[in-house]
Structure 1
Amino acid sequence: MAKFMDVHRGMTGITADQLHEAHQADLALEEEESVHFERAWADPRSGTVYCLSEAPSADAVQRIHERAGHKADEIHEVPLTA
């Protein structure tokens, strides 16, 4: 499975609790698409949220995010890590 980093914009002022709730919503659905959301980060000032996942495709990641109520603005495959 491949790794993906996705970006959500427009979440200005997001709190730690809201980030946790959004991440939990993804986790509740992830098995349906064979996706695993590993971690999420947020910058409340810019409203940008980043999620790292392992999945069969970017489309699978997006389907989970859409169903959880927060479609990603960008999804990037991350083929190399250090």
Structure 2
Amino acid sequence: MSRFMDVHHGMTGITADQLARAHQADLAIENEEGVHFEKAWAGPASGTVYCLSQAPSADAVRRVHERAGHPADEVHPIPLMV
């Protein structure tokens, strides 16, 4: 499985509770696409949310986020990690 970092824009003012609910929505359906979301981070002031996942493809990551109701604006492969 490959790792991906996806980015969501326009979530200005997101709270910790809203981030946790969005992450739980992804976790509830991730297995259907063979994805595992590891972590999520948010910058409430900038409205940017980042999610780290393991997945068979960027398209699988996109599908989970779309189905969970918060489509990703960007999905980037992570070829190297330390």
Give SS of 1:80's match. coil
Structure 1 residue aligned with 2:16: 16
Matched, 1:50 2:50: yes
CA RMSD in angstroms, aligned pairs only:
0.2
Structure 1 residue aligned with 2:72: 72
Question: What CA deviation, in whole Å up to 9, does each residue of 1:32-76 have, x standing for no partner?
Answer: 000000000000000000000000000000000000000000000
Structure 2 unpaired stretches of 5+ = none
Structure 1: how far apart are the matches of 2:34 and 2:59? 11
Structure 2 residue aligned with 1:25: 25
Structure 1 segments, 4+ long, off by >3 Å, are none
In the comparison of the two structures, how many residue pairs are matched? 82
Percent sequence identity over aligned pairs? 76
Letter in 2 for 1:68: A
Structure 1 unpaired stretches of 5+ = none
**TM-score for the superposition, normalised by structure 2:** 1.00
